[in-house]
Chain A
Amino acid sequence: DVKVTQSSRYLVKRTGEKVFLECVQDMDHENMFWYRQDPGLGLRLIYFSYDVKMKEKGDIPEGYSVSREKKERFSLILESASTNQTSMYLCASRLSGPREGYTFGSGTRLTVV
Chain B
Amino acid sequence: GDSVTQMEGPVTLSEEAFLTINCTYTATGYPSLFWYVQYPGEGLQLLLKATKADDKGSNKGFEATYRKETTSFHLEKGSVQVSDSAVYFCALSGPSNTGNQFYFGTGTSLTVIP
Contacts and interface: CB of A to CB of B under 8 A. Distances in A.
Interface in A39-59: 42-43, 45, 48, 50, 56, 58
Contacts of B51: 98-99
B100 A45 contact: yes
Interface string B80-104: 0000000001010111111111101
B106 A102 contact: no
A107 B42 contact: yes
16 contacts: A43-B104, A43-B107, A56-B100, A58-B100, A92-B43, A96-B97, A97-B97, A99-B49, A99-B93, A101-B32, A101-B46, A101-B49, A101-B93, A102-B91, A104-B36, A106-B43
B-side binding surface: helix, strand, loop or mixed?
loop
Interface in A60-99: 90, 92, 94, 96-99
B31 A98 contact: yes
A102 B41 CA distance: 18
A42 B104 CA distance: 8
Given A42-B106, A101-B32, 9 more contacts: A4-B43, A33-B100, A43-B107, A50-B100, A96-B97, A98-B31, A99-B51, A99-B93, A101-B46
Contact of A56 (B32, B94, B99): B99
Contacts of A97: 97
Interface on chain A toward B: helix, strand, loop, or mixed SS? strand
A95 to B, nearest CB: 10
A25 interface: no
Contact of B100 (A31, A101, A104, A106): A31
Interface in B52-111: 89, 91, 93-102, 104-107
B44 interface: yes
B14 interface: no
Contacts of A42: 104-107
B34 to A, nearest CB: 5
A71 to B, nearest CB: 16
A106 to B, nearest CB: 5
